[in-house]
A = this chain, B = another copy of it.
Amino acid sequence: MKTDGIRAALIDGKAIAARMRTETAAEAAELAALGWQPRLVSITVGDGAASEVYVRNQQRTAENAGVEFEARTYPETISMEQLVGVLQGLNADPRVNGIIIQRPLPAHIPVKTLQKAVHPLKDVEGMHPASIGNIVYNDLALGPCTAVAAVEILKTLPLKIEGLDVTVIGHSEIVGKPIAFLLMSLGATVTVCHHMTRSVAMHSRAADAVFVAVGKPGLVTGDMLKPGAALIDIGINRVDGKTVGDADFDSCAKVAGWLTPVPGGVGPVTVATLMKNAVLATRMQMAHYRAEYALTDV
């Protein structure tokens, strides 16, 4: 899609996701043949209307990626303790390889407490503090899906990440910061900006690639970019019934070299990453159980 005034190449998130699903399906089949069919359990609490489309989308992607998917819904009235008990049961069950906690959760259930209750080996969303800590240690086991997806997209571009100057706008724990640490591990020079930054434009204009994950439509405009830079837009906002990112698409498309559309950019790659994590988690659990209950000729 090159139209008048647009210089940026649009990044096709759906195509990247499709390639990832094909790879994941092959790995899942291999694991299934060894008796370890990867299987996810999704947990929704209360009225699932807000996350229904999202869960259905995950379910469909899982099927395409050779991953079994069970969607469970618990009543809004369930106590925190009961829910943690459910998670402990899933943690102990070797036929469950990954646990997804759908948001939003009711007010009496703090999301962090639930995320910490998921065993790190089954943390396919990559939300456990130990999972995040492993990123810092360059020891990427299960990374947070959105952050991993955004970085995977950058890797598809003809840019050498070593030495690349990258500005990340947004410093959330599950997106901005993990992106920064993934990029550092790959050798990029990373600057992280946020709402307290004096001049975001000063940093973004100096960058070869810009990641934005804030949740403010129109936050990044073309004049904030270096001509030819890559812009990975992680924002998802509803404006006048339309889904848009954090970038002002029209002005950015005139300056950027590459640009992710919203929708169709980071989103599909994120769900594909979740399935990749499911397969990785299954492989780690297989190794763990084999080491624990090794069938040797004693």
Contact = CB atoms under 8 A, between A and B. Distances in A.
Given A129-B130, A193-B189, A194-B189, A136 B177 contact: yes
Contacts of A132: 132-133, 136-137
A198 interface: yes
A41 interface: no
A10 to B, nearest CB: 28
Contacts of A134: 129, 133
A76 interface: no
Contacts of A163: 196-198
Contacts of A131: 133
Interface residues of A, number: 34
Most buried by B among A189, A190, A194, A203: A189
B133 A112 contact: no
Number of copies: 2
A133 B128 contact: yes
Contacts of A152: none
Contacts of A171: 184
Interface string A185-196: 001111111101
Contacts of A48: none
A17 to B, nearest CB: 26
Interface in A166-186: 171, 173, 177-178, 180-181, 184
A196 B131 CA distance: 26
A138 interface: yes
A162 interface: yes
A136 B125 CA distance: 16
Given A191-B191, A193-B189, A136 B198 contact: no
